[in-house]
Amino acid sequence: MTVKIAICDDERIFIEKLSRHLEMLFEIESIEIEMRTYHNGLALLSDINDLNFDILFLDIDMPSISGIEIAEEIRKKNQFVHIIFITNHEDLVYQSIQYRPFRFIRKSRIQEELPEAVSALKRKIINENNLFSIKFNGTESFLRYADIIYLESYRHDIFIHSTKETYRIKSNLGKLEKQFEPYGFIRVHSGYLVNIKYIFSIDKSKVKLINNEEIPLSRHRIEIVKQKLQYYVRQGV
């Protein structure tokens, strides 16, 4: 497996430093990489249609176009690329959550934070290929956790809404919550369990998904949902 990486930063010296670290860390993880570097966001955006990157390292503070603006454009074309913001501004976590960053890494702590981020990326790639067994009417199917958008409890059934179709099983959402939580699922309502990778934004009463669906958000769950969102962004779940 070869992982395609792009780095976008207006500081050439920092790009060279980050590139060396990434080459070393991915070699330790036994993962082959292809890497391209960009000194401005417009150059990256001009290539984004032709080059299918797996991971993007974006500097937030760049002239002409910021990393957040780049992420906004990229998300219109690629919903699942892993975006890692390089920044010293931790207060931008909530501002950028709608672009679903995999991680924030502080430039001043690059040597300490980058190794863990690369390890988390490896775990993420492995987790995305883990399968959930679905048994209904005597038939067994397997579905990637990464392809499940949300689970909905209705009466005595659980409806599993995936990127391809909706499945119905007999189960308990509380039981499934424990099973799905390690894969980045958040209980936003008594009847809904949502995959963080498909969350576009949240407000006081609902969760908006990237497919424009809206899921109700319980008032008493707002703070814990925000905390878990921040945790998953930091941990790269």
Whether the predicted pLDDT of 237 surpasses 60: no
pLDDT given for residue 77 in this prediction? 81
- pTM of this prediction exceeds 0.85: no
Which is nearest to 84 in space by CA: 42, 63, 53, 129? 53
- Say how many Å lie between the first and final Cα of the chain, rounded: 20
Instruction: Tell me which of 67 and 180 has the higher pLDDT.
Output: 180
Q: Domain extents for the chain?
A: 2-127, 131-235
pLDDT digits (tens, 9 = 90+) for 83-127: 999 887 666 655 666 677 888 888 888 989 999 999 988 888 777
The architecture of the domain spanning 2-127 is 3-Layer(aba) Sandwich (3.40)
Whether 60 contacts 107, CB under 8 Å: no
What number of other Cβ atoms are within 10 A of residue 187's Cβ?
21
**DSSP letter assigned to residue 144:** E
pLDDT of residue 213: 94
Token pair listed for 210: 């990237």
> What pLDDT digit, counting tens, does each position of 141-168 carry?
888 898 999 999 998 899 999 988 899 9
Share of the chain above pLDDT 70, in %: 92
Q: What is the mean pLDDT of the chain?
A: 87
| CATH topology for the 131-235 domain | OB fold (Dihydrolipoamide Acetyltransferase, E2P) (2.40.50)
Task: Please report the pLDDT score of residue 130 as a whole number.
Answer: 83
> Is the four-CA dihedral 185, 102, 82, 24 of positive or negative sign?
negative
CB proximity list for 213: less than 8 A, separation 6 or greater: 149
Predicted pLDDT at 92: 60
Confidence band for 128, pLDDT divided at 50, 70 and 90: confident
**pLDDT tens-digit series, residues 188-197:** 999 999 998 8
> How sure is the predictor about 236, in pLDDT bands with cuts at 50, 70 and 90?
low
